[in-house]
Structure 1
Amino acid sequence: MAADNGGDDTLAPVIPLFGATDADSSADPRAKRVETTPQWRTTWDDDDLHDDLSSMADEVDECTQIEREIAERNLTRKLRTRQLSVSEARSVVAERDLDETMIEAVLHDFVRRGYLDDRALAEQLVRAGVERKGQGRTVIAQSLAKRKIPREIVDAALAALPDDDAERALEFARQKARSMRGLEHDVALRRLIGQLARRGYGAAAMDAARQALDELAQ
């Protein structure tokens, strides 16, 4: 490519290319220096400098494109194992040598294609917290914040939950109380309250623990 001549001239002696002849030299004034004796170039005219900078820009663009492709592959590999928030994905992409504009471009592309969706992830984590882990609002909110999901999305996902923390706390306490039959009441109460609190049933923990143990004693 023609743009390469300017860049190559800075690295090696000027030598005839593609069988240059005297006729070629007369057609191109700059070709007069293309003799049989190699010469090092130490200065550039404006055209040469422009060509050289263009060549450097092309090289940067190519390197940036390679870095972007690697970042996209790395992110795709991560997404095959678990869903990521946009913020978590940003950390993965930022491991490559990309500026902020390119990082945002990669993330925008993944969001556009549906590979990243903070709202869907928040809803998924809320369901898992409630149905599989028996967690209360506090712990669920902490889990979503740890995944760096924006606060407004967390609040919206939690607002969709029914206001049944007390019922779910009691259900959990009843399940756990069965394994504490042989313990003294105060010991069982403290353990049960601790387990409920760790799952985010702060205000409801005490009442649920007491009711579950009272039912067990009947």
Structure 2
Amino acid sequence: MPGDRGVDSSPSPRHPAFAQTRPMLRAVRPAAEVADDDASDLVPDPQAVRERASEALVRKLRARPLSVSEARQLLRGHDLPSSDIDDVIDEFLHRGYLDDRTLADALVTAGVERKGQGRVALSRALSQRGLPREVIDEALASLPDDDAERALEFARTKARSMTRLDPDTALRRLMGQLARRGYGGSVASQAARTALREAASGGATSGVRFVESE
């Protein structure tokens, strides 16, 4: 049309057609920066790993005491390097959270008073907890030399329920129980025979009496 001569009919930059045809510009980050960020997401922070491992050890210690060896094993499960494991162990030792000698004494006391264990069973139980040999020996050295008395005391608590058995079966079973608690050889034999004889002579209803063999 005559009135439109000289008018530019191309769309302005704000026109919808312009927006559709012109690609959106975005800032492009160097590939090296992207790779660095991806790597940082994959590699855990060493300090965070150490803190999580320490917290896990604290939670375990709240449930029950651990030996130093058991604590090390737990920390290894959190993929800590050896140097960090040593640092955490040193810190817990300094704070008194770990103490092998205190643990050994507690296990010996519990084994004697609650389980009637002898030295062999006590030594085995302490060794299974990863306690060092010298710590085990120190804990056992504090015990009086009364294995025979403790074996007899334990045998007496079991002999009452065996008076209905024939003497050989009763002796075999009681000696087996004593052996599992660390009493062996002559100590177990003497304790079993004495306890069964006392139980039989104490009024057993079956009338079975245990006769000590020569």
- TM-score of the aligned structures, taking structure 1 as reference length: 0.72
- 1:116-142 CA deviation, whole Å, 9 max, x = no partner? 000000000000000111000000100
| One-letter identity of the residue aligned with 1:138 | V
Following TM superposition, by how much is the alpha carbon of 1:214 offset from its aligned partner in structure 2, in angstroms? 1.5
The one-letter amino acid of 1:207's match is: Q
Distance 1:141 1:199 in 2: 11
String of CA shifts for 1:147-171, please: whole Å, max 9, x gaps: 0000000000000000000001011
Deviation at 1:97, TM superposition (A): 2.5
After superposition, give the CA deviation of every residue in 1:35-91 in whole Å (9 maximum; x if it has no partner).
Answer: xxxxxxxxxxxxxxxxx9xxx9xx98x811011000001001101111000000001
Partner SS state of residue 131, structure 2? coil
Asked if residue 158 in structure 1 is aligned to residue 140 in structure 2, the reply is yes
Letter of the aligned partner of 2:32 in structure 1? Answer: T
The answer to whether residue 101 in structure 2 is matched with residue 79 in structure 1 is no
Tell me, yes or no, if structure 1 residue 214 matches structure 2 residue 197: yes
2:32 maps to which of 10, 23, 42? 10
CA distance in 2, matches of 1:215, 1:80: 45
Where does structure 2 lack aligned partners over 5 or more consecutive residues? 1-29, 202-214
TM-score after normalising by structure 2: 0.74
Q: Distance in 2 between matches of 1:191 and 1:96?
A: 45
CA separation in 2, counterparts of 1:190 and 1:78? 41
**In the aligned structure 1, how far is the partner of 2:70 from the partner of 2:138?**
20
For 1:73, the aligned partner's letter is: E
Could you say which residue in structure 2 is the equivalent of 1:187? 169
> Which residue identity is paired with 1:212?
A
Residue type of the partner of 1:11? E
Select which of 89, 99, 102 maps to 2:84. 102
CA distance in 1, matches of 2:77, 2:167: 53
Partner of 1:144: 126
Residue number among 60, 63, 72 corresponding to 1:90 in the alignment: 72
**Cα distance in structure 2, aligned partners of 1:172 and 1:155:** 23
Which is richer in helix?
A: 1
Work out the CA distance in 2 between the residues paired with 1:99 and 1:173: 50
- Deviation beyond 6 Å, 4+ runs, structure 1: none
Equivalence for 1:135: 117
| Offset at residue 9 of structure 1 (A) | 8.4
Alignment match, 2:180: 198
Tell me, in whole angstroms, the C-alpha distance in 2 between the residues paired with 1:133 and 1:211. 20
Q: Distance in 1 between matches of 2:62 and 2:124?
A: 24
Indicate the structure (1 or 2) with the bigger Cα radius of gyration: 2
Determine the C-alpha separation between the residues in 1 that align with 2:67 and 2:31: 49
Aligned partner of residue 75 in structure 1, secondary structure: helix
One-letter amino acid of the counterpart of residue 190, structure 2: D
AA of the residue aligned to 2:191: A
- Indicate the SS of the match to 2:33: coil
